[in-house]
Amino acid sequence: MTNFSRGQKGKLADLGLTAPFNVVLDIDSAGMVVDISCFGLDSADKLADERYMVFYNQLASPANEISMTLGGRGASFVVNLDALPASVAKLVFVAAIDGGGTMRKVGPSSLKLGDSVQFPWSGADFQDEKAVIVGEIYRKDGIWRFGAVGQGFNGGLSALLKHFGGTEAAPAAAPTPPAPASVPVLPAQQQQQPVSLSKVTLDKRGDKVSLDKRGGSKGFGRIHVNLNWNRGASGGAGKGIDLDLGCMYELADGRPGLVQALGNAWGDFDRPPYMRLAADDRTGRSAEGENLAINGDHFHDMKRALIFAFIYEGAPNWAATDGVATINMPDQAPIEVRLDQGGNQMMCAIAMIENRGGSMQVTKLAEYFSQIGRESGHELMDRRFGFGLRWTTGSKN
């Protein structure tokens, strides 16, 4: 792998990179919340089409030319330059701090292009900037090239969006009255929708957010729960830590149950319990992490769901995982819960999703459990939250 230094540039073809390839940003955030994004710019370095800003609220461009997976210490992009429209001449990869802190606190980090190029950088290169333009892939004279930028930026993600000519959606804009008949209206595919940067981060134990159904819908649509973490976290004996995602639930009729890989209790999306765990990645190395789908159109059939994670393999060390759970659903801001308060316990109760009169309430729990005597962490967590399940030893086949 070739190491680039700040300001160095090179042709992708000379570096052996052909589309599609991965772009991975690995960031030692030192406990700060860092949002990673890719801006697809035109020849004037402006975001001419806001569908080509790929970030936590928009994980792919229109035809998946750029797609993004959030990870424990950063994000991974799959880039297919050959499929990009001619209007996109540059891809800029940025990192911005959400909340307190500055870039000078960031530890050893890197941007990698496939297995060919690595650009190492750290907070030692910056002062009190809130963001950094890490690198860019750009087209010059018809040839795609990579540039290691490493340029600090004083504003956060909102300021970067403005800098690149994008428009941020207002948090709660009043409805726009219909245009008079004499005013021409652009076709739907040509209209530019402002970018919504809204995100809900539940920082402290007990923090809550309540959501109502949008647009008169009967439910919340497909609710996607993702668990991701730092694959490089040490789990002892040279092994990485493998986290498993699970859910204890109680239906509206009082029936309790469990969805998890242990015991092959995968669940069902279209029938009770109306939630399904994706096939477990038994290597613990999948960039997509662990995923649970909840059928929000049957939210009226649910009373509550406890989202949890446990360390299936590796020595328990929550502090090293940089774990994060993200709850996404249509027409709602993503909800982020970080697993940042544990120690050497095996289990973490992440968040509780509750049906409160048809509204959804999400509460950060961040409670950790270890086996005591013959009682497992599962049993202790169940007792704490009162689901009343019966327990036996299980394993992944």
- Nearest 10 degrees: CA dihedral of 313, 318, 322, 326? 80
Residue range 297-333, pLDDT digits in tens: 999 999 999 999 988 776 677 777 778 888 988 878 8
Q: Which CATH class is domain 200-231+240-385?
A: mainly beta
Q: Give the whole-number percent of the chain exceeding pLDDT 90.
A: 52
Which whole number is the average pLDDT over 65-94? 90
How far is Cα 82 from Cα 65, in angstroms, rounded to an integer?
8
What's the CATH code, domain 2-164?
A: 2.60.60.30
The pTM assigned to this predicted structure is 0.69
CA distance 25 to 71: 9
* pLDDT of 231 over the 50 cut: yes
Return mean pLDDT, the chain.
84
Same fold, 2-164 and 200-231+240-385: yes
φ, ψ of residue 130 to 5 degrees: the values are -95, -10
What is the residue extent of each domain of the chain?
2-164, 200-231+240-385
Note the pLDDT of residue 186.
36
Exposed / middle / buried, residue 305 (Cβ in 10 Å: 0-12, 13-18, 19+): buried
